[in-house]
Amino acid sequence: MNLLEFARGPAFNFALIVFVFGVVWRLAGLFLQWRRRDLSKPRQHNLIVAGTRAMLMRSLPPHELEKHIVFQHMSGYAWHIAWFISLLFFAPHLPFFKQFLGFAWPALPNWISLGAGAVALALLLTLVIRRATNPVLKQISTWDDYISVVLTILPLATGFLAYGRLLPIRYETLLALHLLSICALLVWYPFGKLMHLFLTFPSRFQAGALLGRKGVEA
């Protein structure tokens, strides 16, 4: 078994099992853990509105800090969107999704999906360097932050290396490294901050609903 066979077979299989198990475990653990019944009188009855409002409003930068965090905020949105464009609309990726879903969707022209990938890669590298050098960000960063961002960068970087044959290494080795970087991402996903993909909006909704019940506009 060569490296590519290992990456496409046992490694990916293991990563997928860990990913599914971990994500379902964490989601079930959180969603089945009902809060205690609150016997106080609710200040607001329509908690769905309160939750939805918080979910949307907290997706915008707080007005007071807007000027100071505009780069952080906008670059965060930009790389997320660009990353998902390159993941979901780069033509060679579509057979990957089709094997699970049984269907695929039209790809974007390569110059768009590759351009999006380049934007995501550049922004992610800038942000991780900034995190490591900015005194405030450095203070509030943990290993989880660095591991999560590096594991997000690696599939992009190895993808470009494989597609463009940017290193004097055989293509199958580069493709295997690309797949292994995805495996690493999947394995880490449920246990680190990357889990925010599944938890960001539910937690914002819940915070908004709870605060709304107490009459606080979140």
Is 2 a binder of another protein (CB under 8 A)? Answer: yes
The sign one gets for the Cα dihedral 24, 30, 34, 38 is negative
Size of the site for another protein (CB under 8 A): 47
* DSSP strands (E only) in the chain: none
Q: Which of residues 94-133 bind another protein (CB under 8 A)?
A: 94-96, 98-100, 107-110, 113
Is 143 a binder of another protein (CB under 8 A)? Answer: no
How many whole angstroms from its chain centre is CA 180?
17
Cβ proximity to another protein: between 13 and 126 the closer is 13
- Least Å distance between CB 84 and another protein? 17
Is 211 a binder of another protein (CB under 8 A)? Answer: no
The secondary structure of 66-124, three-state, reads HHHHHHHHHHHHHHHHHHHHHHHHCHHHHHHHHHHHCCCCCCCCHHHHHHHHHHHHHHH
Per DSSP, the three-state class of 218 is coil
Is 32 a binder of another protein (CB under 8 A)? Answer: yes
- Least Å distance between CB 25 and another protein? 4
Give the interface with another protein as residue ranges (CB under 8 A).
Answer: 2, 4-5, 8-9, 12-13, 16-17, 20-34, 36-39, 90-96, 98-100, 107-110, 113, 171-172, 175, 179
